[in-house]
Structure 1
Amino acid sequence: MTDTMTGGCQCGRVRYSVEVTDRDAYLCHCRFCQRATGGVAAALKQVDTVAVTWEREPDRYRSSPIAQRGFCRECGTPLTYEGDGSDGLDLTVGSFDDAASLRPVEHSGTESIIEAWVHTDDLPRSRTDENERINARWKDACGKLPD
């Protein structure tokens, strides 16, 4: 079954819709993905290039001799990994409007995995809306908490 999902960058300048056949995604731990996202891994959803419709194309930079990455030049959101010669591309999970509906099914690039950041179930958790200092900053700046 094919389903349409939407997404885009933080500022809304770059938006897309994509036809997906499943909700499978993966984590890439390679050093290129770590550096490109500034995270310990890149959470990615592989799709066919022709399945993506861009309202506005992302900007792109050559991130290695074999790939380019799409991003928003205004807000900096990483959006794609695009391997040379591939019929597919990877969209960043965090750029999907309904990112929570995607599920990780694989770890890739595990030669650079940072194990301490993979198994975090035992760490304490807190909600942003329970942080009074951040709430006060949002209310001072916008008059309300973000949606």
Structure 2
Amino acid sequence: MFFLFSDILLYTSRSQATLQFKVHGHLPLRGVLLQEPEGELANYGFIIYGGNRALTVAANCQEEKDRWKEDLQSAVQQARDKPDAKVTYLSLKSSSSSDEIMDQCGTDVGTQTKPALQRNNNTIHVCWHRNTSISMKDQLIAVEVVININFKIFS
């Protein structure tokens, strides 16, 4: 699963045992290039270049591919348009969980009790189980709907 932020693209996999995502790597968006592949992947696939990495991805349909590319290109352009601020990232390869990062930051995670696993119906889990993706536009519409519903309830 990919997580697209305003300045970075994370690529992850999900652990079936812990139901958490493990980060395999990241690509700063300022250096990302998209390219159409040749051959079999030309229909629904494209290549994401970032630094010394190349990720070949394939969507389920042309519409999904177009949404992915539109969101990626938009985020890349916005990242390039921002003033060049030096951003330092923690090493994602050296940490297997957020607990380790918290330990490195000085928080004693070992004394906290972990909550029991519960079923999550957030966007990430729904997309994972349905093997689908949503565009940034779709996510913004969903947030707007929730805000409008909450506004009507509390008005």
Point out the structure with max Rg over C-alpha: 2
Query: When the two structures are superposed, what TM-score results if normalisation uses the length of structure 2?
Result: 0.22
Query: When the two structures are superposed, what TM-score results if normalisation uses the length of structure 1?
Result: 0.23
Higher helix content, 1 or 2? 2
Higher strand content, 1 or 2? 1
